[in-house]
A and B are shown apart, each in its own frame.
Chain A
Amino acid sequence: MPETPESVDSTSLIHARGLTKKFGDLVAVDAIDFDVAPGESFGFLGPNGAGKTSTMRMIGCVSPMSGGTLRILGQDPERDGPAIRARLGVVPQQDTLDNELTVRENLLIYGRYFGLSREECAKRADDLLEFAQLTEKSDSQVEHLSGGMKRRLTIARSLINEPDLMLLDEPTTGLDPQARHLLWDRLYRLKQRGVTLVLTTHYMDEAEQLCDRLVVMDKAKIVAEGSPRSLIEQYSTREVTELRFPTGVQETLDGQLDGLAERVERLPDRVLLYADDGEAAVTASHARGLKPETVLVRRSTLEDVFLRLTGRSLID
């Protein structure tokens, strides 16, 4: 279907309608629609294989789409790929740093790919090293950096062209908690500066920390869209009560859990009671004579939203 100029939201940095990616018979991305506004922090949340990376590669103009309409920065990726890429900052899922070069050299040569002069590259590299807290590692070979340092360098590298739009594909996957928090802090600063961030993640805490708005992807489709708070309000209760029973007991509880809360979800290792008042659910289960080994009352998270929408956990 031909796209009419009127239907393109001229304020969108990314405009996708019916965006599709096929690999032979496999449909990796199945006719998804979304828009990303300037200054927004937008996330794709979903498990591995949901189609997040395929979508990001199409936005990054390195993978041609199989169908639909896609406009990035108002341009057509099929025709203007290099011109669009000149204004993107890309942090791929898999590191593409040059291990044989030093930290600083990686920044310098990457700036050269964008056609920046050597002087400009050097100036920006110094600022970015400081931003990424890598100034002291400037002359170290990349091979010897920790995983967290490599990710920070990749983020610094992606900023060398002062991009209008940053694409981060699972930026903290595989990092330890400390390294993740340091990285989140750096991304939050970028967000504060007004940089538009688009990221994929299968960590709900990452999505809650960084995303103003997100779409939940499952099996190549978008199944929900909204802010983290609105998604939780829409698809979950305020609180969740987690009950863990001694081994073998949970299987014998047929019928005894019904009506304890608005919704009851049975996972292999625990029972989730969805209720706005978690303590009331605890009281109700005690009243029925249930004897869970542990009881935990917590707030609902995006993990609960995902479970509700797909019947599965984010991380298998």
Chain B
Amino acid sequence: MSAGTATPPLTSTSSIAGIGRVFEHRFLSYRRTFRASIFSSFLTPLLFLTAMGVGLGGYVDASTQDALGGVPYLAFLAPGLLVATAMQAGSFESTFPIMGGLVWNRTFHAMYATPLTSRDIALGNLLWIAARLTLISTVFTAIIVLFGAALSPLVVFAIPVAVLTGLAFGAPIAAFSATQRTPDRFAAIFRFLITPLFIFSGTFFPVAGLPPFLQPLAWLTPLYHGVVLARGLSLGTFGTNPTPELAVVHLAILIGFIAVGTFAAIRTIGAKLVRG
């Protein structure tokens, strides 16, 4: 149908460009809190590695010789903490900032009044979360190396593993956050999901140390798969533990969580924008 008056739009937005503009907004907001956030992303790993790795690790290493396959506790713990920290950051970034943009300051609605689409808005935010995770994980990995806790140069590849793990939590949580009108349920996510996983998904001790009936549960969570991959890379056992075949499975599970979560987030953010 031609109405005769149709003229080309002022701008035609390709999706990549649209996602980039949403990302740009998050970056602009972030510049204000940049210093404080850089400081805390150094401090957190430093405290944990010192207290748990060096302090507690001293006792662990003195009392058992081979429980961890002969590696120092600090080297065992560090990649686990890296991935668990990414999980926490990815989860947090997907709660308040997503609901805030839709309910509190409504900045996503402002974007939706422009050529940007709900898909641009969802993907731009997830891309931003990925960028934050990359920064946090890179800093954390640098500190691991400085502590002498990385036994292999492959530890570099633990950075993308941590980012993927953070997103495997972040994307589904973002989808959930877009359906919330208040932050009431976010506390429950951290209390009943993130914190137990932090403790029981092989970060501080091997999953084999859990009661046998709990061990299969670890497989259901992205954190476990991220920890296995990152630990293999940091300890240099990658290839035998995990084997290449298992590594592919671990990676596929992480990517599966991200894919399903991303698809859901596009849907729920879109539904909320349309509802107003």
Q: Which residues of A contact B (CB under 8 A)?
A: 3, 5, 8, 10-11, 57, 60, 62-64, 71, 73-76, 81-88, 90, 92, 94-101, 105, 109-110, 112-116, 161-162
Contact = CB atoms under 8 A, between A and B. Distances in A.
Contacts of B220: none
B5 A74 contact: yes
A71 B4 CA distance: 12
B32 interface: yes
B3 A5 contact: yes
Contacts of B9: 82-84, 86-87
A97 B276 CA distance: 15
B112 A62 contact: yes
Given A5-B1, A112-B21, A113-B21, 7 more contacts: A8-B3, A62-B273, A62-B276, A74-B7, A85-B114, A86-B10, A115-B17
A83 B5 CA distance: 14
6 A-B pairs with least C-beta separation: A74-B3, A115-B11, A96-B110, A74-B5, A113-B114, A83-B9
B115 A60 contact: no
A99 B101 CA distance: 11
A253 B4 CA distance: 62
22 contacts: A5-B1, A60-B113, A73-B7, A74-B4, A74-B7, A76-B1, A84-B9, A86-B9, A86-B10, A88-B113, A97-B110, A98-B25, A101-B29, A109-B28, A113-B25, A113-B115, A114-B11, A115-B17, A115-B21, A115-B115, A116-B11, A162-B10
Given A57-B276, A82-B13, A75 B3 contact: yes
Interface residues on B, range: 20 to 34
Task: Tell me whether chain B's interface is mostly helix, strand or loop, or mixed.
Answer: loop
A63 B24 contact: no
B12 interface: yes
A96 B112 CA distance: 11
Contacts of A57: 276
A85 B11 contact: no
A28 to B, nearest CB: 11
A96 B106 contact: yes
